[in-house]
């Protein structure tokens, strides 16, 4: 598909040979496959075709607040942080309304809008009317986001070039970046967790796919660098996951300043405690329990896993670590992008 006046980028099917190779480790039964988008070849589900122009031309509002990340970069954590600060620390409302309703995932419909996906959803719902209604709603995520009352809170994993061109000039955007190796480990477990992703390879296979760009929303570094290049824009707050782990109160203050809020130190302290990993993992409002209810995720696994930096060292052998460092160096060469050092312990 060539770009047109509604959407400027080409959308190309992943070659059959490459798809067949992927199917050795990725269970693609829940989708119609993958496509690559634009000159950077962003790897997304084929259902993106139906939503590309709608997302790109989406109407924006000055009071929108978006959280954008490459997947598994601390997205849910930062969504809750941003929502709480923007809503004056309303713990009652936060606990009573799931995060997925307060801060919806824009492109969810691209995952579940194909005929195969919808057939699989019906199978997993097993005739449960409530579950079917939830599943049906997820197929309309873009339309529902457009209809949200202001102020809207929107989460997306799409790169900047695939989002509305006036995004940064119109809305507030918080972007979070995380060490690519930790992202890959966390994303691997996410693929294992979500039954509709159905990954059945090992981590070494997964890492090879990640580096090659055959994992959703890759290439990773292009995603990060697009936002890094805009980090001085007054409507963009660029955060590193590792910095938040090291000093969460400082992160809360940065978000508050960005959003024009003036919390007391007591409020900052209380929110930081609320957002500690142990507390966050127990918080049913943010743990996507609905996916377990729908049969979409493994009931024996948790959406929140470890919430730490440097976990990749437990998964990379010496050869993989050296290869990963070379890959990182190659991708950062010529940029001033530098990820924070973190304590390997």
Domains of the chain: 50-332 (3.40.50.300)
pLDDT of residue 19: 81
Model confidence pLDDT, tens digit, residues 253-276: 999 999 999 999 999 999 999 999
pLDDT of residue 303: 44
Q: Which stretches in the chain have pLDDT values below 70? A: 1-5, 27-32, 131, 134-136, 194-198, 281-308, 342-345
Residue 225's contacts (CB-CB under 8 Å, 6 or more residues apart) are 335, 337
pLDDT of residue 24: 75
334-339 contact pairs (CB < 8 A, 24+): 335/225, 335/228, 337/224, 337/225, 337/228, 339/177, 339/179, 339/240, 339/242
pTM: 0.90
- DSSP-derived 3-state class of residue 156: strand
Give burial (CB, 10 Å; 0-12/13-18/19+) of 21.
middle
DSSP element (H, E) containing 174: strand 172-177
Are the beta carbons of 248 and 279 closer than 8 angstroms? no
Distance between CA atoms of 226 and 290, rounded to whole angstroms? Answer: 32
pLDDT of residue 4: 54
Are the beta carbons of 282 and 303 closer than 8 angstroms? no
Catalytic residues: 157
């Amino acid at each position: 598909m060539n770009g047109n006046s509604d959407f400027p980028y080409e959308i190309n099917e992943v070659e059959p040979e490459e798809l067949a190779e992927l199917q050795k480790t990725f269970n693609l039964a829940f989708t119609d496959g993958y496509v690559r988008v634009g000159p950077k070849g962003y790897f997304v589900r084929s259902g993106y075709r139906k939503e590309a122009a709608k997302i790109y031309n989406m109407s924006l509002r000055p009071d929108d607040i978006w959280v954008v990340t490459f997947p598994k970069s601390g997205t849910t954590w930062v969504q809750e942080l941003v929502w709480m600060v923007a809503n004056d620390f309303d713990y009652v409302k936060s606990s009573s309304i799931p995060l997925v309703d307060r801060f919806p995932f824009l492109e969810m419909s691209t995952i579940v809008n194909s005929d195969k996906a919808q057939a699989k959803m019906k199978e997993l719902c097993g005739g449960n009317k409530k579950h079917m209604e939830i599943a049906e709603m997820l197929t309309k995520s873009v339309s529902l986001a457009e209809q949200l009352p202001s102020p809207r809170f929107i989460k997306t994993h799409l790169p900047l070039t695939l989002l509305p061109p006036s995004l940064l000039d119109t809305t507030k955007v918080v972007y979070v970046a995380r060490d690519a190796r930790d992202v890959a480990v966390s994303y691997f477990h996410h693929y294992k967790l979500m039954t509709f992703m159905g990954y059945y390879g090992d981590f070494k296979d997964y890492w090879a796919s990640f580096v090659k760009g055959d994992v959703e929303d890759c290439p990773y570094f292009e995603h990060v660098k697009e936002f890094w290049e805009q980090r001085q824009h007054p409507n963009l707050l660029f955060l590193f996951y590792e910095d938040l782990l090291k000093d969460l109160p400082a992160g809360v203050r940065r978000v508050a300043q960005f959003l024009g809020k003036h919390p007391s130190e007591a409020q900052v302290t209380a929110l930081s405690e609320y957002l500690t990993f142990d507390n966050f993992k127990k918080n049913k409002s943010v743990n996507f329990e609905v996916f377990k209810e729908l049969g979409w995720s493994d009931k024996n696994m948790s959406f929140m896993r470890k919430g730490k930096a440097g976990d990749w060292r437990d998964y990379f052998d010496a050869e993989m670590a050296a290869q990963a460092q070379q890959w990182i160096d190659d991708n950062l060469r010529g940029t001033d992008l530098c990820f924070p050092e973190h304590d390997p312990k």
